[in-house]
Each structure stands twice: as structure tokens, then as C-alpha cells.
Structure 1
């Protein structure tokens, strides 16, 4: 599609959906069409988002457009774009408008706004989810292909679940927060809503980047936004959370766990840390961000927002240190979790409340919505919210795949497979999901490494590879010229006459990390050139003296097959 076709389609979809509460500011039709004509006249120029319409949550600055954060009395007009917005415009994206939100991004229901409540695209009696309500609804209704939101406690994931779309929660600090009205500054991140996992990842590739002016910005330890291929043996964790969920959510979650063959773990410490976001010192951080408004102009605040912010004034420092210690324990637990598993699968939200329920109890339903989302940023996780099924009434149920910081590219194929297993269309549009792209090929700053043992996916030492930025490329076999030996809990590969073909996996590893990984490999193992069926590749090899007395397991065709025979015999 051309920029003009994109623009006309967006305007038509907005008119057909007819929900003014999505918007706090919508660009005039003429301005949108004029910009589309300009983009079309310029041509793509290599810009990855050329002509694609997008919207921005109204707590993120767009030059010349008021930023309200859902509070008219707070409004200001920025002179410059937030870096994330600037990067999108430079990539050729077409700005449509700024969207509604729970005031100051304080809420998960999507109803705490003086600009109205965006309509849930599946059931107008239900909340749309928040705080990024307008952005999610704009994607779910087919007005735009992607939108910027924010995510502190789940604001980029809960409304994605209720709209049947994808919500990408990036690693905190990977996207500049300059030009973002803070909620909890230490754990805020700009987030992405999109039609599919890979479209969300493509947007993050554009907006991510270190910002020296943002004190919470972080440099990625490796290129983390390259898409892996689908893992042959993913290790996914789950938890017994059915008692916390409505029956339809529990049923959909059970099916998703079965699809990914997820293994149960205890997440009680994560659930405890989740409560800290609204019941611990991070409430005071919200209060600190809006101290001037609360002290001088409290009447401009939404009543529920004001209640929450005022509660931060009563927090005690001594309790804060208890919370900090609890969080450190939870972060260490997360390290152990992701050393053993590639991802944690949870429901995005335990239920979807009705508008009437929230009117009757403005705080209770909101608190429950954050059960599974609140801890992710506190525990330094990244993740995707994707549809995992539908309730009997036709409303979508969302699931969430979480991984450690900087795992967005590795999680993408797993999240995409989960999405496509349980949904075929985008939001409420009826439009088919866009096709998935192929995995990213080996980059110039990466080296292909052939793994034949415990460093393969699903096996105990795979974390040494992924922890250095490794990503799975493909399965492969050697030429029929090798012998495989069992050296206890790992194999040794040796080129030998009369050998056979040995199966393994090719991983892409940052070239700068090859030496670091080699330093973790004990003798008689090391790295050398391995002749694969499709060409030479760096890989694990053994010294001949080190395997002299070891059992020869070549006949099994690979280490994973050998392990299978041992499991059967145990």
C-alpha cells in the first residue's frame, strides 16, 4: 500500500468505528492526507515504516501537540518530539493522533480519564483496559497498524489482552524515556501495540536506542532485537494460577500451557513483589513525580488518581527497605528461573471487569488486573502479551510470555507461534494476521557456532549461549565423518574415519563473545572448524586423547537422541 492508501484506510476505519473517546487529539483529515502525499512524493528512501499510520499515547511528547497525560489542567505543548516519536517519523511513519489513557498512566482499567472511556472493541459493557486504552483500541479496531503506549504495571499488556492484539513490553531502559511524563520513573517504559509479534518487534527496532540524557537508559549488552528461529526444544515455565482467574481465563491458559509443554514452577515470590507496585514504595515514586500537581492543584486530578497519589504521602522509609529486600529476592529468583527456562507463560489478566464493576469499586478490580503484570518491570523482564483464546461470550483471553531483560528477539518466535495457534485475525477487525517474516540471518558481527551437546536448546548449558546474546538459527548435521563420545554430562565430537553424521544446532553468537564462551568450556573440549552437510562452521570439538576411554554413541545420531535412550532406561 502507498502512504495515501494507508492514510485513507486509517481515516475510513476511524469513521466506521466512531469512538471519539479513543482520542485526546486527532490530526485533521487534511493534515494527515497532506503528510501522506508528501511521503508518497518522497518515496520510501529505505525507510522501514514508510507511510504506515500510528498513534501515540498522550503522555508521550509530539512536537506542537499538547501533552495532557489525561489531565487537562496539566497540559503543556512540547517544542520537540520524544526520541521514540522522532525515530518513528524519521522512519517514514504517518502520525494520526494522540490517544486517551488512565490519567497519568495510573490504572489498568482504562476508565480514569476526563476524556471519556474508549469502547472495548468486543463488548461495550467491559472495560477496554489501561492505562494505554486509546492506543490499544486504535490497533484493535484497525485504525492503525501500531501504536505507542507505556508500561509500568501492565499498561502495555492488559489493554492488548482485552483488544485481542499484541502488546510488546520492552526491556526497561532500552527505549528513551525522554519526553515521557513519568509514572514510576525507575520502572517506566514506552511500549508497542501491534497486529503481530513481528510487527511490534519491527517498531521496537526503530525506537530503541541509548539516550545519554535519560538517567535510566541502559546500553544493550548485545544486539537483542534480532529474531531467532523457532527453538526445537523450548523450555517454558508456568504456574498453577487457576484459583486466581475466572474460569474462561483458566481454561485458555491451560490450553496454552499444553501447546508449549510448559512445566510448573512456584511464582509466589513474584506475586508478592507485584503487590509492591501499588502497595509499597513505588506508590510514593508516583507521588513524587506529581508532587507539584498534588500539592498546588489537586482539584485537576481524577478522583481515583488523586486517592492513589495521596496514599504515597503516607509511605514510610523503613517499610521501603523491606520492599527493596523483597524485590532483590524476586530478582534473584528470576535469574534462577531464566537459567532453567526460556520463558515464563502466565495469563495477562485474571479477568476482564465490566464498567459497572469499576464504577461500584474503583480500586478493587484494578488491583486484581495487575496480579500477573505488576512484577515484570520490577523484576527486569521483557515480554509479549498475545491472544491465547476466547471466552464463551466471544471476548478474547490474553497470555503473556516473559523472559529476562534483552530477550525480545529470542522470545519473538515463541510468542508468535503461541499467537497464531489461538488466533487467526487481528483484534475485532476480522482481518487475517500478517504473515511472519523469516528469522534474521547471520549478521556481520555474529559468528555461527555448531552446538552438539549441553549447549543446545532445552539442555542445561544453553543459558551460557543465550546469556551472551546467542540466538538459534537452525538444526544441522555434520558430514558423515565424525564420532560422538559420551563424556559424562556432555559429549565430545571427533573427526574420524568410519564416522557418521551427528546432529546438532547452529547458533548465532556475537563474535566478541566467542572467547567468553570458550573460557567456560573445560578440556578436552574446545572450538574448531566442523564440516557440516551444508558447509564448514565453527563448532565444539574434542581432543582425541580426552575421549580415548569414553563410550562411543555415534550410532544414536546425536546427543539429544542419546539422552533419550538414557531417560528410557532409567
Structure 2
């Protein structure tokens, strides 16, 4: 394989069998290097973990499900270190190259899986999404991305970051491929339709006015009932993002404390600093953040009792260049978390896709009730994307 994009980890090739026929037959599968695959190590983007990994003798159940459905494994992909970033960089293994614009970041942490699909090296990009690691690189690379309902897919054989947010997820080039994936992993086909699509004012206020207007116009033209609301919660987006980051940092520290304690210098300085932020959190801060999450989750449940789907932009701002300053990366991450945290805090599914509008293609998303993954697909198809 000619991997000029640095999408894949440079592992020696091992034989990974797959079913000769099935619903995913003919589709190539790229797997984020957080999932165990027989015959390969699992590094999670960290050189010390790679050295200690050894060759795995079992395959993560979700990966095996895809293989049994006929998908053909083509390699393990690059990831941000410990899956703890949204940028796509890695001090140890390098940053994958964005095929559509090599000057821009590819987005992370499922950077390699996104780039593999965008570059035509794979058809299915298996990744994980904790704070946006499927949705953000899908948006930057012009892909369809699916963050499933939290807990709906098997996460065995997957290295955790923040378990109460972690979700295995997928990226494809089309809705048709994503629909096939949903069926293959046990999300039954359905023709459920929402009563309306909800446009939330304070969410669309986070992006440029002309882009927001174009996206909203596209939703209104899709023969779907559209209604508006001022906000999605009694909490503002900054409060929700702060609560999300607090819980994320606490759980990320707990997941990686043993690695940090053994050899902190084996972790990139920026990742280590974020881990230490979680170590230094006050008990009261974490308790308050979890209270906000519980309250928000109840509000979202009440909202979705009306059988609505929430439309939102995937990103709050344009991606920075790959050689941007650390401060630019931090500002981008912070800005995008305000929108990306909604799915994480609620546990609800989100479908991300390129949406044609007056200004070209932008990445839009649909957020739905828990277990309403197929409803999001139904609405997405009515918007004529893919």
C-alpha cells in the first residue's frame, strides 16, 4: 500500500481473516490503533505502550463483527497519543496528512482512520469518539461520521480514555455505506421519522452568520418540519463544555495514571499536561460537573420526548493549519468542544455529514434521542447527502 498520507501504523503485515461473503463484502476496513487485532500490537499512539504491548492473540469483538460481515482488514491506523486530542498530531508517529488540504490538520484523535477513508485507502474507518474524535475528523475530511448511542456497541478489546464518554464509531464516504454498517453491527433498519427538526439559536450563533443561514435554509428545503428554540438547555454552552472537560480530564487521568506514574517523560508534554490537570481537580469541581451532566441529560430526555431531531453545525470554527501554534490548537479545541460535548454529556447519537449549501459544502450534524441512530439516518437521507 502506498501510504503517502501517514494514515497507517508501520506494522509488519499479519493475516487477518474475514468472511468470504456478507453485507460488508468488498469493503476495506481501517482500524484505529486502540482496538486489539490478532497478530498486531496495540500502541494507542504511545511508544512505551507499543514496546509493552506484545502481539495480540485476540481481536476486539466489534472488529470481529465487521470481519464476520465480510469487511477486509487493511491495517491499524495512526491516532493522537492516548486518543487525548482533537488535532490529529502525534509526537511519536507523526501527524497524518489531510488529503483534501495538506496544509490543514486532519483532526483527531481518529486521524489515521479518517485520512485512510478520505484518501481512498479504506472504505470503513473504525475509530473512537470521546469528545469528538469521530465527528471532528469526519467534518474536516468531508466524510460521514457516526457517533453511536453510548453503550450500544461492544467496547471489549478497546483501550479506554474516559469510559463514561468513550464510544466506538465509524467514518465512511457515503450514507449508504454507513447504513450498511449500522445493520452489520446490530442497529436494525427502521423508517422512523421525527415530528420535526429543531434549530437551536444559541448553537447556530456560534458559527458565521452566512454559513448558519445556508445550513438552516437547506434544512427548511428538505420537506421536513422545522421549528426553532432559543437554547438546548438551561445551562449555556460554556457551562456544558466546562462540565464535560472536567469529567473528561478526571476520567482520562484515572485511565492513564499507571502509565504516567511509571514514566511520565514517555508521554508528549501537552498530553501529560492535560493528564495532570485531571489529577489536580478538586473533588467539588468533579461533583458539580457530574451534577450538571445529570441535569442536562434529563433536559435532553424531555426534549426528545417531543420526537425531534436537533440540527447543528459539526464544528464551531474552521480547522487550523498543521503548523499553527499550540495556542491556536487550544483555541480550536476549546471552541469545538462547546458543540461536540452535547452528545457526550447526554449519551445520545450524532450523525455528521457534508451538507451542500449556498456557500459550498459544510459539515452538519443531527443529534437524536438515545437509540434513535436509525432516525438520524432517515433524516440524513432526506437531505440528499452522501
Q: TM-score if structure 1 supplies the norm length?
A: 0.62
Q: 2:149·2:370 contact (CA, 8 Å) conserved in 1?
A: yes
Q: Which residue of 2 aligns with 1:287?
A: 253
> 1:312 aligned to 2:278?
yes
Question: Among 334, 357, 369, which residue is 2:336 paired with?
Answer: 369
> 1:228 aligned to 2:191?
yes
Q: Which residue of 1 aligns with 2:96?
A: 118
Evaluate the alpha carbon distance shift between residue 252 and residue 105 of structure 1 in structure 2; reply closer, same or farther with a 3 A threshold. farther
> 1:406 aligned to 2:367?
no
The 5 A counterparts of 1:385-534 are 385-389=352-356, 396-418=361-383, 420=385, 433=386
Q: 2:313·2:365 contact (CA, 8 Å) conserved in 1?
A: yes
Q: 1:270·1:375 contact (CA, 8 Å) conserved in 2?
A: no
CA distance in 1, matches of 2:95, 2:103: 11
CA distance in 2, matches of 1:236, 1:380: 19
> 1:180 aligned to 2:158?
yes
Evaluate the alpha carbon distance shift between residue 189 and residue 252 of structure 1 in structure 2; reply closer, same or farther with a 3 A threshold. same
Which runs of structure 1 show a deviation greater than 6 angstroms over 4 or more consecutive aligned residues? none
Report Cα offsets for 1:496-541 as digits up to 9, x if no partner: xxxxxxxxxxxxxxxxxxxxxxxxxxxxxxxxxxxxxxxxxxxxxx
Q: 1:108·1:130 contact (CA, 8 Å) conserved in 2?
A: yes
Evaluate the alpha carbon distance shift between residue 118 and residue 324 of structure 1 in structure 2; reply closer, same or farther with a 3 A threshold. same
> 1:321 aligned to 2:283?
no
What SS does the corresponding residue of 1:350 show, helix, strand or coil? Answer: coil
What SS does the corresponding residue of 1:69 show, helix, strand or coil? Answer: coil
Instruction: Identify which range, 59-68 or 333-342, moves more after superposition.
Output: 333-342
Q: Which residue of 1 aligns with 2:136?
A: 158
What SS does the corresponding residue of 2:316 show, helix, strand or coil? Answer: coil
CA distance in 1, matches of 2:331, 2:358: 22
> 1:127 aligned to 2:90?
no
Evaluate the alpha carbon distance shift between residue 356 and residue 344 of structure 1 in structure 2; reply closer, same or farther with a 3 A threshold. same
Q: CA deviation at 1:26?
A: 5.6
> 1:85 aligned to 2:85?
no
The 5 A counterparts of 1:179-258 are 179-208=157-186, 224-228=187-191, 231=193, 234-240=195-201, 241-246=203-208, 249-258=211-220
Q: 2:218·2:357 contact (CA, 8 Å) conserved in 1?
A: no
Q: Could you tell me which runs of 5 or more consecutive residues in structure 2 were left unpaired when the two chains were aligned.
A: none
Q: Which residue of 2 aligns with 1:66?
A: 41
Report Cα offsets for 1:254-302 as digits up to 9, x if no partner: 3334335532221253723233222x13311100000011111111112
Report Cα offsets for 1:373-403 as digits up to 9, x if no partner: 11212212012001113796x7x52111010
Q: Which residue of 1 aligns with 2:301?
A: 335
Q: 2:199·2:226 contact (CA, 8 Å) conserved in 1?
A: yes
Report Cα offsets for 1:392-444 as digits up to 9, x if no partner: 6x7x5211101011111222110122352xxxxxxxxxxxx5xxxxxxxxxxx
What SS does the corresponding residue of 2:355 show, helix, strand or coil? Answer: strand
What SS does the corresponding residue of 2:349 show, helix, strand or coil? Answer: strand
Q: CA deviation at 1:118?
A: 1.4
CA distance in 2, matches of 1:295, 1:226: 46
CA distance in 1, matches of 2:11, 2:143: 22
Evaluate the alpha carbon distance shift between residue 163 and residue 248 of structure 1 in structure 2; reply closer, same or farther with a 3 A threshold. farther
Q: Which residue of 2 aligns with 1:500?
A: none
CA distance in 1, matches of 2:8, 2:209: 34
Q: CA deviation at 1:27?
A: 6.0
Q: 1:238·1:257 contact (CA, 8 Å) conserved in 2?
A: no
Report Cα offsets for 1:298-327 as digits up to 9, x if no partner: 111122111110100111212222112211
Q: 1:386·1:418 contact (CA, 8 Å) conserved in 2?
A: no
CA distance in 2, matches of 1:26, 1:145: 20
Evaluate the alpha carbon distance shift between residue 178 and residue 400 of structure 1 in structure 2; reply closer, same or farther with a 3 A threshold. same
Q: Which structure's CA Rg is the greater one?
A: 1
Which structure has more relative contact order (CA 8 Å, sep 6+)? It is 2
Q: CA deviation at 1:162?
A: 0.8
Q: CA deviation at 1:360?
A: 4.4
Evaluate the alpha carbon distance shift between residue 270 and residue 196 of structure 1 in structure 2; reply closer, same or farther with a 3 A threshold. farther
Evaluate the alpha carbon distance shift between residue 255 and residue 303 of structure 1 in structure 2; reply closer, same or farther with a 3 A threshold. farther
Q: Which residue of 2 aligns with 1:298?
A: 264
What SS does the corresponding residue of 2:311 show, helix, strand or coil? Answer: strand
Q: 1:358·1:365 contact (CA, 8 Å) conserved in 2?
A: no
Q: 2:315·2:336 contact (CA, 8 Å) conserved in 1?
A: yes
Q: Which residue of 2 aligns with 1:49?
A: 24
Q: 1:57·1:98 contact (CA, 8 Å) conserved in 2?
A: yes
Q: Please give the root-mean-square deviation of Cα atoms over the aligned residues, in Å.
A: 2.4
Instruction: Identify which range, 269-278 or 406-415, moves more after superposition.
Output: 269-278
What SS does the corresponding residue of 2:121 show, helix, strand or coil? Answer: coil
Q: CA deviation at 1:188?
A: 0.7
- Figure out how many residues of one structure are paired with residues of the other and give that number: 376
Q: CA deviation at 1:363?
A: 2.0
What SS does the corresponding residue of 2:88 show, helix, strand or coil? Answer: coil
The 5 A counterparts of 1:94-113 are 94-113=72-91
Q: CA deviation at 1:251?
A: 4.3
CA distance in 1, matches of 2:249, 2:363: 26
Q: 1:108·1:370 contact (CA, 8 Å) conserved in 2?
A: no
Evaluate the alpha carbon distance shift between residue 391 and residue 133 of structure 1 in structure 2; reply closer, same or farther with a 3 A threshold. farther
Q: CA deviation at 1:236?
A: 0.7
Evaluate the alpha carbon distance shift between residue 43 and residue 135 of structure 1 in structure 2; reply closer, same or farther with a 3 A threshold. closer
